[in-house]
Structure 1
Amino acid sequence: MALASLAAAASLLPAAAARSRVSLARCRGMASSSSPSAAAGASAAARVGVVQMTSVGDLDANYATCSRLAKEAASSGVKFLCFPEVFSFISSKDGESIKIAEPLDGPIMQRYCSLAKESSMWLSLGGFQEKGPDDSHQYNTHVLIDDSGEIRSSYRKIHLFDVDVPGNMVYKESRFTTAGDTVVAVDSPFGRLGLTVCYDLRFPELYQCLRFKHRAQVLLVPSAFTKVTGEAHWEILLRARAIETQCYVIAAAQAGKHNEKRESYGDSIIIDPWGTVIARLPDRLSTGFAVADVDLSKVEAVRTKMPISEHRKFDSVWKTSSL
């Protein structure tokens, strides 16, 4: 494509600034009734907010922070507010998160449903400790609540963080968490949303599936990245996901020291479909939120100027060879 055409696409973007559940293995499922070009009922532009916070091992304290931020965001005209992974609770001792884990109709999540209704705001709540299949496991669940306080969709984190980060803690999420096996995209007034959680970010095939199989326009990445991995890869990975899928990316992040054992990188950001960061907090440690307008016409403009969906070959049979 000519450079002039690419420049034209870039000029359309700010310079600075129904549900579907499918098998991951096959990346397919129920057909959606929504239009392929845009989510049903989605407005051309909508004000969204991305939260940065430092959750602790106190459910009430974390809720007080979330409630305050939701009310402040609503006063700023935000209609969709995205919270980070483990927004409601971060344990300081082994086994604590299992003890507080609840089903989605339990009192913890219902409290947040009431918050959404009271604030007349959609909420993205990433990384909730949902009660698992047995007493020793939970699910790491991303929950989407609408402005009437109803749970619209939920996604159980597929890729679990089992790593030994150099210079940091050894972490084995699978020891107490059961992985999900379902890709989730859902229509909303803010576009078609693709739900993910934290470590999923390192697996581009999930985001390709959300974009090309399930027509996502906005990708949600609530996270609690470690300081070491965040410094190295956080923004790079997020911008890559935005560029390769031509989607908005909203990435809410935990920040700072939660306890003596755990520290998160921070840097909550919103990225447009051209890969430009259009909103972020002034620093990586403060509690607050950043605001941006998500304009679906810019998604379509980028995809029209650079039609990668027409050029991709992954749905074809490829010839392979080995030496």
Structure 2
Amino acid sequence: MLRHAAARIAVGQMRSTSDVEANMAESKRLCQLARLQGASFLSLPECFEFMGTPGTGDALKMAEPLTGEIVSRYRKLARDEGLWLSLGGFHERKTKDDPKIYNTHIVVDDAGQIAATYRKLHLFDVDYDGGFQESRSTHKGEEIVVLKDTPFGNIGITTCYDLRFPELFVALRDAGAHLILIPSAFMPTTGEAHWEAGGSLRGEECDRCRQVLLRARAIETQCYVAAAAQFGRHNEKRSSYGHALIVDPWGKVLQDAGSESAGVVVADLDFSLLEQVRARMPMSAHRR
């Protein structure tokens, strides 16, 4: 049995740029919005601290270690706001002389301590929306991460392109995850096709929503899925799709931030529902 009956979380949607200070100010604003709505956890999207222009190398130039100033400021933000923060997609440079960085997802507790770090396993090397080769500048991670015994259950940690690899999500479920985080910066073409393909949350129309991959990951793992997102045009070469989402273990979309504006959406994690779904359809015991 989970030790908490319910917990309220928020996922953020923002339009990061190359202005670190402006991104910090927006992150603080989203924290305050989350607190006003009663959440004690906020997930920020991939590239929350910096969104560079592809092909310029500017992300490499600003990358810092986890002990650097940027992470220290976000740890202070978590402490000052009394919020757990998921910082999905930080540009981490582990050593000064390394020509590549890591795409690192950090979870910070409400005392400002780093509770978990995950380095993105699957790198985005694709030929859509002008093409993108993440592996040119980024190392692959090596380990799955589940942060256990938090007020929000056991948290499985992923980042963006990981969404397309269901075996990772099954492994997180088998490792005990109840909530899986997928902070992202999905591009418009792939987002429209596979992240969230339209629909409305009003009335019967909700049944026609086709949030393809996010709902699939929730359904097949019987976990809550929280997917923070970037949206809009960041610079002349980069745009993001939006639609930050929270999905329950039955695959129901609880919240959708749309694609037009920054902000947060909030939902309660009902752990009794999670346990009921798993008890009535014990997929984990059936897997061969």
TM-score over 0.5 for the pair = yes
Residues 1-323 of structure 1 correspond to what in structure 2 (within 5 A)? 37-38=1-2, 42-92=3-53, 94-132=56-94, 134-165=97-128, 168-187=129-148, 188-212=150-174, 214-234=175-195, 235-281=211-257, 283-313=258-288
Structure 1 runs, 4 residues or longer, greater than 2 Å off = 132-135
CA contact (8 A) 1:52 1:255 kept: yes
Give aligned pairs, total.
Answer: 270
TM-score w.r.t. the length of structure 1 is 0.82
> How much does 1:285 deviate?
2.3
Aligned mates of 2:132, 2:268 — CA distance in 1: 36
> How much does 1:252 deviate?
0.4
Helix, strand or coil at the partner of 2:144 = strand
Aligned mates of 1:247, 1:173 — CA distance in 2: 28
Aligned identity (percent) is 53
CA contact (8 A) 2:33 2:263 kept: no
CA contact (8 A) 1:219 1:248 kept: yes
> How much does 1:207 deviate?
0.3
Residue deviations 1:133-185 (CA, integer Å, cap 9, x gap): 543211000000000000000000000000111xx211000000001010000
Which residue identity does 2:59 align to in structure 1? S
Aligned mates of 2:234, 2:260 — CA distance in 1: 11
CA-based RMSD: 1.0
> How much does 1:71 deviate?
1.3
Structure 2, unaligned runs of 5 or more: 196-210
CA contact (8 A) 1:98 1:135 kept: no
Residue deviations 1:214-244 (CA, integer Å, cap 9, x gap): 1100000000000000000002000000000
> How much does 1:54 deviate?
0.3
> How much does 1:309 deviate?
1.1
CA contact (8 A) 1:122 1:144 kept: yes
Structure 1, unaligned runs of 5 or more: 1-36, 314-323
